[in-house]
Chains A and B, each alone.
Chain A
């Protein structure tokens, strides 16, 4: 089966000569939720910007559902790959929530009732339909993050890429976002160094360090390997026991059926 995301031997150096990626291999299959872990400066954001062709690979290839990320496919690639950036203020720039969510699908050529339906369905998926006519900058930070997710969902992407989705959220907003993300039936690549969040949301984790993939394993196995975490500057929050958390998670999933 063709993976949704197929990255092979991806290397990239910034124009100033700083090399951020040294041959990254990564496959994400349909329906998977994968966490991309790594310390600051590991090249996570650089990798993300390759997935929809904002940056062009110096060496290696990126393909989305078999379609290579190349200039002539950019419009389709950007529909297939939905990136939610870290700061919602960067992503929400129109006068109202509705206009902001409509921005992407309108660029895809949707008009009239079809556009409206797409917008409302995306807003309902994140529980923000009641705020459609509000200006985004008057919403709370958690609400803005959810609208930012909706702006991307409205393009019906094949893979949702989230850059540090839990950053700056209070615990309640954090849990609400987790509930929304688990309820979505979409492939997810989540960039984070929030290890408990990765465990809660993603079955599989990939560790990126110094521009290469350093580990790729089920999240619950990865988080109990203290040596591996220490080697890659990853740390669990004080008092967090990944074994206990994994048990709780398993119990919750069984209860949910």
Chain B
């Protein structure tokens, strides 16, 4: 696949990381995440080593760290959860900055934060260096069932369409006085999401009709050698 724009997480480049086969990158990511998850909670030097390895990979890929850092906001819900843990956990108490918290909670929260961040950063690195279509082909080469690959492919294809549709719907709602920040208006947002779901479902049906019209019988033939 030559020309064309990448997806929103993709950082255009020609580094060895960009050129590496997608299925190897996928396996590497899976292995890395398993190691991170298996790391004992308080083995802080091990986290440091893992982070160094990851930073090394990012350096080879020549993706600016700031580019990845901005995209790490996806982790925010986990961060909130990790910050709450010291307050909700049971067991012996300790004091940090004049606040009483649970010791076990602090340890667990820090470990969750570290493991989560490493995992997210590693996934973002894969996304930054791999085109969506290459990822699909990588999954195919890893023998993921055809049907699942097709579903993921459709998801990638229609993500932009559905996001744009949601964008147009919110613009139309704001034009009539809707304010997404105000909790009083959130029920409207929920209804809009419901409408979006119905619209997407109907689009799915229309896409299926269009596929049937061109002789689709359940299997997508391999087209590129």
Which residues of A are in contact with B by a Cβ distance under 8 Å? 49, 52, 54, 75, 78-79, 81-83, 85, 87, 89-91, 93-96, 98-99, 102-104, 106-108, 112, 115, 133-135, 137-138, 151-152, 155
Contacts and interface: CB of A to CB of B under 8 A. Distances in A.
Contacts, number: 88
B225 A112 contact: yes
A93 B215 contact: no
A102 B209 contact: no
Contacts of A93: 154, 157-158, 207, 210-211
Interface of B: 1-5, 132-133, 136, 153-154, 156-158, 160-161, 203, 206-207, 209-217, 220-225
18 contacts: A75-B217, A78-B212, A78-B214, A82-B213, A85-B206, A85-B209, A89-B158, A90-B203, A91-B210, A93-B157, A95-B157, A103-B216, A107-B217, A107-B221, A112-B225, A133-B1, A135-B5, A155-B215
Contacts of B215: 75, 78-79, 104, 107-108, 155
B214 A107 contact: yes
Highest count of chain A CB atoms <10 Å: which of B132, B157, B210, B224: B210
Q: At the interface, is chain B mostly helix, strand, loop or mixed?
A: helix
Nearest to A99: B223
A99 B209 CA distance: 18
Highest count of chain B CB atoms <10 Å: which of A98, A99, A102, A152: A99
Highest count of chain B CB atoms <10 Å: which of A83, A98, A107: A107
Contact of B223 (A106, A134, A151): A106
B198 to A, nearest CB: 16
Contacts of A102: 223
A87 B212 CA distance: 16
Nearest to A49: B209
